[in-house]
């Protein structure tokens, strides 16, 4: 900026809104046609899923929304110096131009660079998990695109978080059900896990509790005797979502978005 402040300027590509709307129109037509002629599409409410996707995508195209999301995360972590959220410069921000404070640091998955900088990776992992748990269970508002490129680790080990276009909101009921699901997984209780899945998802006509419990027994068996620190969360959640799809359980859009982000 004129005062020497380093910023990043994000500019929406000209014509992209019109192109996205055209593509979404095609998707909506395909979803409506599929739901009329293909039973699985009707069971999963494919038009509803496309509508949810369209709503999320349109929100990402408005940089004013992204700026407000960033400020909400800034307020969320204002008392936590270990999580850094860039400042938004509203005087040079519009719906198609976003100006924000530049963040420096090491990408969170660049392990050799982290080691060379003497960053304690166990402390870093705990810090990232604490931040995620605060987003989901305390604030019920979470960053839904947590790929490594959106995390910069600063020299002091603090985490600078960027890119707030895709976010999710967790209602109180879903938060409590998610906690039930996590307890069932960690206690390796397949019956409780079935209850959690059925509470969370909307079952299709092909859903069978007995068949679902058999598949979840298989999932839980892979955890038996293993300490939690050895369980890879991403593959585990991906397998759990595959079980849900197999049994025609349609998860709420906010929960599906959260599980997708956790599996990254």
* Confidence class for position 201, pLDDT limits 50, 70, 90: low
pLDDT digits (tens, 9 = 90+) for 222-262: 776 666 666 676 677 777 777 877 777 777 777 777 766 66
Mean pLDDT of 174-191: 80
Q: 161 forms bridges with which residues in the sheet?
A: 151
Q: Provide the H-helix boundaries in 77-171.
A: 111-116, 121-133
Q: State whether residue 127 is helix, strand or coil.
A: helix
Coil, strand or helix at 88: strand
Q: In degrees rounded to 5, what are phi and psi of residue 168?
A: -135, 155
Q: Rounded CA gap, 151 and 46, in Å?
A: 33
Q: How far apart are the C-alpha atoms of 77 and 80, rounded to whole Å?
A: 5
- What is the set of active-site residues? 145
């Amino acid at each position: 900026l004129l005062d020497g402040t380093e910023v990043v300027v994000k500019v929406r590509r000209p014509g992209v809104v019109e192109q996205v709307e055209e593509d979404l129109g095609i998707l909506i037509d395909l979803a409506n046609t599929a739901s009329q002629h293909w039973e699985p599409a009707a069971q999963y409410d494919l038009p509803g899923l496309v509508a949810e996707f369209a709503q999320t995508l349109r929100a990402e195209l408005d940089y004013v929304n992204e700026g407000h999301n960033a400020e909400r995360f800034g307020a969320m972590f204002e008392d936590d110096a270990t999580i850094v959220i860039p400042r938004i410069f509203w005087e040079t921000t519009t719906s198609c131009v976003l100006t924000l404070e530049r963040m420096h640091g090491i990408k969170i998955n660049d392990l050799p660079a982290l080691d060379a900088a003497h960053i304690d990776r166990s402390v870093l992992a705990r810090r990232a998990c604490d931040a995620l748990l605060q987003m989901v269970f305390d604030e019920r508002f979470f960053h839904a695109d947590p790929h490594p490129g959106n995390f910069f680790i600063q020299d002091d080990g603090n985490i600078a978080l960027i890119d707030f276009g895709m976010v999710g909101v967790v209602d109180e009921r879903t938060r409590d059900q998610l906690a039930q699901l996590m307890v069932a997984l960690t206690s390796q209780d397949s019956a409780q896990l079935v209850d959690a899945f059925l509470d969370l998802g909307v079952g299709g006509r092909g859903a069978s509790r007995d068949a679902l419990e058999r598949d979840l027994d298989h999932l839980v068996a892979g955890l038996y005797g293993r300490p939690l620190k050895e369980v890879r969360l991403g593959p585990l959640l991906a397998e759990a979502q595959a079980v849900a799809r197999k049994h025609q359980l349609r998860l709420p859009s906010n929960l599906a978005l959260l599980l997708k982000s956790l599996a990254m």
